Structure 1
Amino acid sequence: MHHATPDLSFGDLTPEFMLDALDAAGLRADGRMLQLNSFENRVLMLHLEDARCGSTAAVAKFYRPGRWSDAQILEEHAFAAELAAAEVPVAAPWALADGSTLFHHQGQRLAVTPRQGGRGPELEDPDVLRWIGRLLARLHGVGRQRPFTERMQWASAAPAQSARDWLIANDAIPPETAPAWDDTVRRCIDAIQAAFDSLPDLQLTRLHGDCHPGNILWTPDRGPHFVDLDDASQGPVVQDLWMLLPGDPDAARRQLHAVLDGYEQVAEFDDRELRLIEPLRTMRMIHHSAWLARRWGDPAFPAAFPWFGTPNYWMDQTALLREQLEAMRPRDTTPARVRDEDIVDFDGDGFA
């Protein structure tokens, strides 16, 4: 099995290099740095000698080379600035020494945002979920004002097709498991595309794009705020809803209802988008396998995901994707959301 070539792009990110980069960007750190959890980029919390915008604590992100273009990153930053201007609580990047929010230093690119503390939200609390729903509706309200032109779209099966094509072209799947996996993925891609084709007038919106619970922080006085717009994208708004749901089908139905109850206090929601939950979930599963394979040259990935790439992994993925085929199977009638506790299980297999 072959994976991506060795990734040494972060090899020069020593503490000294990062301090020098921050100094060149016009931010003098006092030497206290804590690396934060992030596989895709290198992210650290730091303390500044002088306050910036009233804050001496900041978060610096060094972007993985080759993942996003400058134009894609700056489009994300502009979206964050629009959200902040509309008083949607996000951490928007600061302008740095050259006047841009994206600073280049010896082949590396970085952005810096103020540190915003908080803890994970209590997603079992309906009031918390309603608040998150209202906040997502406000984010999407800003997102509808103009489209992305550089960021990726979740508007067809294209991301799944691209992931499948890369995995096959790079021999990332053991030969003994590749035929079954590929046959299943091809059928999944057809089902995903059919789901999008069934909604020809689907409205696409600028999204957070990776709105799982780890990207929402909560404070008792201010409620929820978003972090990490690194995967900001364009697509149906349900993309920012389904990742908040737990694996248990009954709990997922209750929590979906609470989020939508809050959402619709601020904006309308097209119930037809609920048909896209399982196609979007399936697409993310295929995309995730390709992401792991592409990053295998980074030493952090084999250490964190030792189970990836084995024949058992690909057999398990094939089995899960076959379940997703059933979950995506078209029903005879158009699903309609029922109010209160009777949210319909549209896919017939829960949200697990």
Structure 2
Amino acid sequence: MSSFNFSELGPDMILDAIESLGVYPESGLLALNSYENRVYQFRADDQLKYVVKFYRPERWTNEQILDEHQFALHLDSEDIPVVPPLVINGETLFEYNNYRFCLYNSVGGRMFENDNLDQLEWLGRLLGRFHKASGVKKFNNRSTINFRPEFAEARAELQQSDFIPSYLKNTFFHDLDMLIDETLTRLDQSSAEYDVIRLHGDCHAGNILWQSNGDQDDAILVDLDDCLNGPAIQDLWMMLNGDRQQQMLQLDTLVTAYEEFNEFNTAELSLIEPLRARRMVNYMAWLAKRWSDPAFPRNFSWFASDKYWEQQVLAIKEQIYSLREPPLKLGY
């Protein structure tokens, strides 16, 4: 089985793996939106719906996966709305034919609306509680956000890829290096001190389910696959969108609600644009690295187009400008 490959994971093997846990699917397998792993929903013979998640081979160690599972179980024990893996015979991580997998209860909900201030306020309270519970210790086996080596690795991945059109290569890498240098300079110049805590790590609208039960609304955080150590602002900044004034209003809404449950360190506001640059660069490198997986050309065909890379050159220039702007402030 080649690196990062799901080629042998067919429907029969998936069903056999699930049944090896004493759970017997009664319906077909519904593929859910996940590119890094393979995730399926099904109904079992107990008439309950479950989700099975198969981890991408060679991406995580068992210890790193168990860090994720123990984190989710800890949050659940603190009444933080997350979806923890099911514990079966005292275990959460299982293996079948070299594929590691786990099982979850299926939960429903609709997409979170990050331009809805009421929902942002709710999320701010949830993240305040989340970080209060997660901040008691750090991950032992998960990584910590570290800009310099992450940028170096991502740049090397892009450098060895064949996606960037030849006529754009010099411009692209010149601007990419400017973005990296500007980000690292901003970080070096910043005097911000912050605590490193356990984070969701990929807290965007697609990883939040919004539930309405009569008069009761609630948000549930899902997919802790990218959990890691870092500053609290990493779990907030991806909710910000629109122009500067809109982002300041959204930020103020989030942080005011957050502070009902946990103190927010305003020094971390200077990290928002560096973290945005980090995500931009890592995202391009991630797509390049995963391109041999058939799911990626099928779902991200635009990544191999000249137009995409022309747009990225413009996006990089805009991000350099954003890094040179004063950080967002509270008190909108």
Q: 1:205 corresponds to which residue?
A: 197
Q: 1:110 corresponds to which residue?
A: 101
Cα distance in structure 1, aligned partners of 2:248 and 2:325: 19
Alignment of 1:1-352 (within 5 A): 9-50=5-46, 56-96=48-88, 99-197=90-188, 198-199=190-191, 201-220=193-212, 221-329=216-324, 331=326, 337-339=329-331, 342=332
Q: 1:348 corresponds to which residue?
A: none
Secondary structure in 2 matching 1:165: helix
Amino acid at match of 2:61: S
TM-superposed CA distance for 1:337, in Å, is 2.8
Structure (1 or 2) with the greater helix fraction: 2
TM-superposed CA distance for 1:35, in Å, is 1.0
Give the TM-score of the pair, scaled to structure 1. Answer: 0.86
Q: 1:219-261 CA deviation, whole Å, 9 max, x = no partner?
A: 1235111110011111111111111123344433222211111
Cα contact 2:248–2:329 (8 A) shared by 1? no
TM-superposed CA distance for 1:28, in Å, is 1.8
Cα distance in structure 1, aligned partners of 2:279 and 2:83: 25
Q: 1:14-41 CA deviation, whole Å, 9 max, x = no partner?
A: 2211110001123222233211111111
Describe the shift of the 1:125–1:311 C-alpha distance in structure 2 as closer, same or farther (beyond 3 A): closer
Amino acid at match of 1:40: E
Cα distance in structure 2, aligned partners of 1:195 and 1:23: 52
Cα distance in structure 1, aligned partners of 2:81 and 2:28: 26
Cα distance in structure 1, aligned partners of 2:328 and 2:237: 17
Cα contact 2:209–2:220 (8 A) shared by 1? yes
Secondary structure in 2 matching 1:60: strand
Cα contact 2:193–2:267 (8 A) shared by 1? no
Cα contact 2:192–2:268 (8 A) shared by 1? no
- Aligned residues, how many? 327
Structure 2 segments unaligned to the other structure (5+ residues): none
Cα distance in structure 2, aligned partners of 1:194 and 1:8: 35
Secondary structure in 1 matching 2:65: helix
Using the aligned pairs only, state the percent identity.
Answer: 39
Cα distance in structure 2, aligned partners of 1:285 and 1:85: 34
Describe the shift of the 1:212–1:291 C-alpha distance in structure 2 as closer, same or farther (beyond 3 A): same
Cα contact 1:155–1:236 (8 A) shared by 2? no
TM-superposed CA distance for 1:330, in Å, is 6.0
Amino acid at match of 2:312: Q
Q: 1:43-83 CA deviation, whole Å, 9 max, x = no partner?
A: 111112237xxxx2111111111222211111111110110
Describe the shift of the 1:169–1:125 C-alpha distance in structure 2 as closer, same or farther (beyond 3 A): closer
TM-superposed CA distance for 1:294, in Å, is 0.8
Task: Quote the RMSD (CA, aligned, Å).
Answer: 2.1
Amino acid at match of 1:323: E
Q: 1:346 corresponds to which residue?
A: none
Name which of structure 1's ranges 304-313 and 127-136 shifts more when overlaid on structure 2: 304-313
Q: 1:345 corresponds to which residue?
A: none
Give the TM-score of the pair, scaled to structure 2. Answer: 0.91
TM-superposed CA distance for 1:183, in Å, is 1.9
Describe the shift of the 1:115–1:173 C-alpha distance in structure 2 as closer, same or farther (beyond 3 A): same
Amino acid at match of 2:207: N
Describe the shift of the 1:288–1:320 C-alpha distance in structure 2 as closer, same or farther (beyond 3 A): same
